[in-house]
Amino acid sequence: MKIALINENSQAAKNAIIEKALRKVVEPMGHQVVNYGMFTAEDPDQLTYVQCGIAAALLLNSGAADYVITGCGTGEGAMLACNSFPGVLCGHVEDPVDAYTFAQVNDGNCVAMPFAKGCGWGMELNWEYVFEKLFGFGSGNGYPPERVVPEQNNKKILDLVRACTHTDLIAALQAIDALQDRDGITSLTGMVTRTVRARGFRENFGRDCPEGDIRKYVESLWA
């Protein structure tokens, strides 16, 4: 499995610590980690948690990544942003129990974590335990044992409902990129274009994304 790590600007200073914890746990399992940045708080390409959602949608829908680890100060904003897009099923994960139950019951492909709230002494240990429970026991197996069949059925229902309520990804991204700063709201103009032109995204996506409509769309924004 190819696991992408995406950090937004408020927690970018922790990127290296998160990456180290993630690699320590999942690489012995045979998974690959790709760091999409932000790499430091001083990166010229400043990504908000909304842009992390855009990046996650592009990675997961194109096949450039199989799973996305992202977050923000509380994890709530990043979770909401990721779930705004088709093809992304993102859980809010704070601890190992959250990680295990999300993997087994909800069988998603993305998690948003709080990288400020509750993160002090021993934070990297909690992250390691989270990643172990998230990736070390399979997914979609249901929990608790006596609820396996109905929980798996509920997940299938959720997938069908989301297919009805989510629009075409490229059309949605084109509409987002057409937004303009207004009413005191900044950072709207060209938001998708700025996201895909960020150094970490451009280098890794260009290498990992297979041919297809999403790759063509992103390449048109690079041009």
Query: 80: domain CATH number?
Result: 3.40.1400.10
pLDDT score, position 9: 96
Across all residues in the chain, what is the average pLDDT?
Answer: 96
Average confidence (pLDDT) over 150-169: 93
DSSP the chain: -EEEE---GGGGGGHHHHHHHHHHHHGGGT-EEEE-S--STT-SS---HHHHHHHHHHHHHHTS-SEEEEEESSSHHHHHHHTTSTT--EEE--SHHHHHHIIIII--SEEEEESSTT-STTHHHHHHHHHHHHHSS-SS--SSGGGHHHHHHHHHHHHHHHHHH---HHHHHHHHHT---BTTB-S-TTHHHHHHTSHHHHHHHHHHPPSSHHHHHHHHHH-
Write out the residue range of the structural domain in which residue 198 sits: 2-222
CB atoms within 10 A of CB 88: 23
Count of structural domains within the chain? 1
The pLDDT of residue 24 = 98
CA distances from 122 to 100, 105, 119, 128 (A): 20, 27, 8, 10
Residue 186 has pLDDT above 90, yes or no: no
Strand 110-114 to 90-92 pairing: parallel
Q: What is the pTM of this model?
A: 0.94
Question: What CA dihedral angle connects 62, 63, 69 and 70, to 10 degrees?
Answer: -10
How confident is the model at residue 167, as a pLDDT? Answer: 87
Summarised one tens digit per residue, pLDDT across range 77-130 is 999 999 999 999 999 999 999 999 999 999 999 999 999 999 999 999 999 999
Q: Is the model's pLDDT at 1 over the cut of 90?
A: yes
Quickly state the pLDDT bin for 15 (edges 50, 70, 90). Answer: very high
Strand partners, 91: 111
pLDDT (tens digit, 9 = 90+) per residue, 39-51?
999 999 999 999 9
Alpha-carbon gap, residue 165 to 82, rounded angstroms: 15
Q: Which residues pair with 90 in a beta bridge?
A: 110
* CA dihedral of 73, 6, 59, 203, whole degrees rounded to 10: 150
> Whose CA is closest to 180, among 196, 193, 199?
193
Q: pLDDT class for 185, splitting at 50, 70, 90? A: confident
Cβ neighbors of 186 (< 8 A, separation 6 or more) are none
Look at 21-30, 132-141, 159-168 and tell me which has the smallest mean pLDDT.
159-168
pLDDT score, position 125 = 97
